[in-house]
Structure 1
Amino acid sequence: MTERTDLDIATLRAKLLAHREELLADEASTAEARATVDAGDTAMGRLSRMDALQQQAMAQETERRRQVELKRIDTALHRMEAGEYGYCVHCGGEVAPKRLDFDPAAPLCITCASAAKS
């Protein structure tokens, strides 16, 4: 594959790196919310404990999603380095520049992404 000339790779790389830094900053700031809830804490009432467990579960799911997004970003950066960025990882066709501008980590063209949702 040849590097695409219709894409501003530097701008897209900067967007990816900025989003990656935001995610990493969020990860550090939510570490306490994901910590284990002490179910044996007798000073905490049953409803407070249930609420704490729910908050913990939501924070853990947010972290899981954050890790998925970080992986998407890292994969897109790797494709940039390999000269494969901007091409669909499924069919090899070009990913529309507007799609990449909206989501620089998008690995699929719109046709393949639509087919994957079905």
Structure 2
Amino acid sequence: MEEHDLTPLIDRLLPRMQADLAELKANSAQTSADRKPVELDQQSVGRLSRIDAMQQQAMAAAQEARHHGRARALEAAIARVDSGDFGWCADCGDFIGAQRLDLDPAIMKCRDCAS
């Protein structure tokens, strides 16, 4: 394993990861109403309006699932910072690379292991 001083990299990326995580959690709270089941009320809502509402609900649920996955990845990256494993490939143990981590701080694998 090579020697790398990750302190400047972590100092730059950790606030970004924490801000992204906070934003994802805030967006999740703001859009919770969009993911609620669509009620069947044929007196006030027509069939096409209900289908449209169900489609919007499904898209909101899919977006929430993507956001939840990203939040879990960011939480895991922050945990790796705390444990001292941040920046090292989960498969081979080599340094992932500063440019790769700049693109996605939650990445867990080096270029060779990811391909």
TM-score in terms of structure 2 length = 0.91
Give me the whole-angstrom Cα distance separating, in 2, the residues matched to 1:2 and 1:35. 50
The answer to whether structure 1 residue 78 and structure 2 residue 79 are counterparts is yes
Which secondary structure state, in structure 2, belongs to the residue aligned with residue 64 of structure 1? helix
Which residue identity is paired with 1:12? L
The CA deviation at 1:42 is 2.5
Distance 1:3 1:74, change over 3 A: farther
Structure 1 portions without partners, runs of 5+: none
CA RMSD of superposed structures (Å): 1.8
TM-score by length of 1: 0.89
Distance in 2 between the 1:37 and 1:3 partners? 55
**Paired AA for residue 91 in structure 1:** C
Q: Is the 8 A contact 1:3 1:85 kept in 2?
A: no
* Maintained 8 Å contact 1:87/1:107: yes
Structure 1 position 3, deviation (Å): 8.1
- 1:101 is the counterpart of 2:102: yes
* Superposed displacement of residue 11, structure 1: 1.4
Instruction: Give the Cα–Cα distance (whole angstroms) in 2 for the partners of residues 112 and 52 of structure 1.
Output: 43
**Structure 1 stretch displaced more, 1-10 or 22-31:** 1-10
Post-superposition offset of 1:91: 1.6
Contact 1:4–1:86 (Cα < 8 Å) also in 2: no
Aligned ranges 1:4-23 → 2 under 5 Å = 4-6=4-6, 7-23=8-24
Q: Deviations over 1:15-66 (max 9, x none)?
A: 1001001111111111111011002443111111100000000000101111
User: After superposition, where does 1:1-118 map in structure 2 within 5 Å?
Assistant: 4-6=4-6, 7-114=8-115
Tell me, yes or no, if the aligned pair for 2:2 and 2:94 is still in contact at 8 Å.
no
Equivalences, count:
114
Q: Percent identity?
A: 39
Residue aligned with 1:24, SS: helix
Tell me if structure 1 keeps the 8 A contact 2:9–2:98: no
Larger helix percent: 2
Q: Residue type matched to 1:17 in 2?
A: Q
